Structure 1
C-alpha cells in the first residue's frame, strides 16, 4: 500500500478557520462489534460484512448549524471505500482534486485511510454545506493514512465515487448485481470491483487462491473475460433485467 498525507482532499478543503467559531460536541457515542445493531436499526450486517471495528458518532453544532458525524473504522482502506461506495448516490460534487468524496444536498461522505466518514447536515442550508469540509478537517487532519489501492483496470476512472463499487461479500454483491451473485455462487472470493457500463457491467474479481480463479474461469465464455492475473479475473457481463439501483442512504 502507498502511504501519503491524510486524504489528498484535505488540501482542497475550505480555508476558513473553525477557530473563528465555537465547535460544540453535544453528544459522543462509541460502538464496537455487535453494539452497532442497537444504533443502526437493521443496517449493521452490511457494515459488519466489511469488518467494521468501531463507530464513533458525534452530534455537533457549529456556527448555528447542526451536524451528525459518523466515523467507521474498517480493517483496510479498501473496506472503507467499499462501504462508502454502497452509500454514495447522485453526488453534487465528487472526487474533487483527487480526493474520494461525495457531496449531496444533506450529506458529505469521504474515505480517510481505513475510515469511512459521513457528515449529515439536516438543514441542507448553503451555509451548512459550505462549512461541511471545514468541519471534517477539524476531526480528520493532522495524521497519515494509507490510500485505497484501486485495480489497474479502474485507476484512470474519474470520478470513482458513485460509479465504482467494491463488494466484500454476499450482502453487498446482492445489492448491486444479481447476475454476479449467481455467477459467484459456490466460489470463494476476497472482493469484487464493479462498474456498470450501459446495459453491461465490468468487474474485477479477486481471490485468495488460483483454484478459485479457475473455478470462475470455467463458468465464463471466453468472450466475457477481459484480463486475468495470478489472483484476479476481469470480466464483463449483462445484468439481469429485473435489477434496479438501490436507494442511497437517507434516500438522497
Structure 2
C-alpha cells in the first residue's frame, strides 16, 4: 500500500508540475530544428526569492503569480527565456516599464517591446517576457528575434491601455516611455527623484511620462491614492495647496515648477519641470 501511495503521490506531483508549465506560452523542442531545452523550472511567490533574491520584492509589489524559466540551446547558441505571469496586464506592463532601458529597436506587432543587443523584453496580456543571449553576436540577436516571435505568437489576450491623458498629440509620440508604478519600489526603480514624495504612504498607482517637449523636459503623471490622508501628505510634501474652487494649484521647489489638477478626491494629474511657471501652465492647459 505504501508503494501504491508513493506512486499516486508522484503522479499527482508530475501532473501538477506539467499543469503549471502548460499555463505559459513556452517553447517546445519542436519549435526550432536542433533546439534542446537544457533547463525548465517554475517558481511561485515564495520560491522566486531563490532565483532573483533581492529582485523578487518589486515583482511581488506589482502582483506576481508564477515564473517559467527555460534555458535552451540552438545550434550551439545559448538563451535564457524568463516568462513572468503577473496578476493582470497592468502588472505585466508595470514590471516591463521599470525593467527596460535604451531600447535599440521595437517590434511593431507587439505594443510594448524593447530590443537591445543582449536582451529582448515585452509585456503582452498578463506576461512579462525577457529573452537573454550570452554574447550579443549577430547570430544570437537574430535567433533571439525568432524565439521572441515564437513565444509571443502563443499569447492571446488583452494588452494594457494607458490613461487617455497620454493620448494627447503632444505626448503620443513618446508614449513608449510611460512607466507604471504600484508602490514605493517602483518609484525607487523608475523615478528616484520622487522617492521622498511617496515614502511611507499606503497604496498608490502612478502613470508617469518623462516627456521631452519644445518648452523643455517635464514629468507628467496621473496619480491615484487609496486614502485622503495620503493625498494630503503628498500635497504637503510638494508644497501645493489646492484651490477648492478650481481644484488646481502650483508651487515652486528650487528650479522646479510643480502643478496639480485634482480629478477627484483621490486622483490627480501632477506635472513637474524645470520650466518657467507661466510656460508650464500654458503647456499643461494644452494637455488637460
TM-score by length of 2: 0.67
Of 159, 175, 185, the residue aligned with 1:147 is: 159
Q: CA deviation at 1:107?
A: 0.4
Deviation track 1:154-197 (CA, whole Å, cap 9, x = no partner) reads 24634544x21111111111233344332234543431111223
Separation of aligned partners in 1, 2:75 and 2:175: 32
Of 15, 21, 25, the residue aligned with 2:33 is: 21
SS in 1 for 2:87: coil
- The answer to whether 1:56 aligns with 2:56 is no
Separation of aligned partners in 2, 1:59 and 1:165: 29
SS in 1 for 2:99: coil
- Pick which of 210-219 and 186-195 moved more: 210-219
Separation of aligned partners in 1, 2:200 and 2:56: 24
Q: CA deviation at 1:89?
A: 0.7
Q: 1:93/1:143 Cα in 2 relative to 1: closer, same or farther (>3 Å)?
A: closer
Separation of aligned partners in 2, 1:51 and 1:109: 18
Q: 1:142/1:56 Cα in 2 relative to 1: closer, same or farther (>3 Å)?
A: closer
Of 214, 219, 231, the residue aligned with 1:201 is: 219
Question: Is the contact made by 1:66 and 1:123 (CA closer than 8 Å) also made in structure 2?
Answer: no
Of 66, 73, 79, the residue aligned with 2:85 is: 73
Greater RCO structure (CA 8 Å; 6+ sep) = 1
TM-score by length of 1: 0.76
- The answer to whether 1:183 aligns with 2:197 is yes
Q: Which residue of 2 aligns with 1:228?
A: 263
Greater C-alpha Rg: 2
Q: CA deviation at 1:151?
A: 1.0
Separation of aligned partners in 1, 2:35 and 2:230: 51
Q: CA deviation at 1:57?
A: 0.6
Aligned ranges for residues 1-252 of structure 1 at < 5 Å?
21-94=33-106, 96-97=108-109, 99-155=111-167, 157-158=172-173, 160-161=175-176, 163-185=177-199, 187-197=201-211, 199-208=217-226, 212-213=230-231, 216=234, 220-221=240-241, 222-223=249-250, 224-226=259-261, 228-229=263-264, 232-238=267-273
Separation of aligned partners in 2, 1:234 and 1:123: 43
- Pick which of 63-72 and 107-116 moved more: 63-72
Unaligned ranges ≥5, structure 1: 1-17, 240-252
Question: Is the contact made by 1:189 and 1:205 (CA closer than 8 Å) also made in structure 2?
Answer: no
Question: Is the contact made by 1:94 and 1:159 (CA closer than 8 Å) also made in structure 2?
Answer: no
Deviation track 1:48-70 (CA, whole Å, cap 9, x = no partner) reads 11121111111011243211000
- Pick which of 110-119 and 63-72 moved more: 63-72
Separation of aligned partners in 1, 2:149 and 2:90: 21
Q: 1:176/1:48 Cα in 2 relative to 1: closer, same or farther (>3 Å)?
A: same
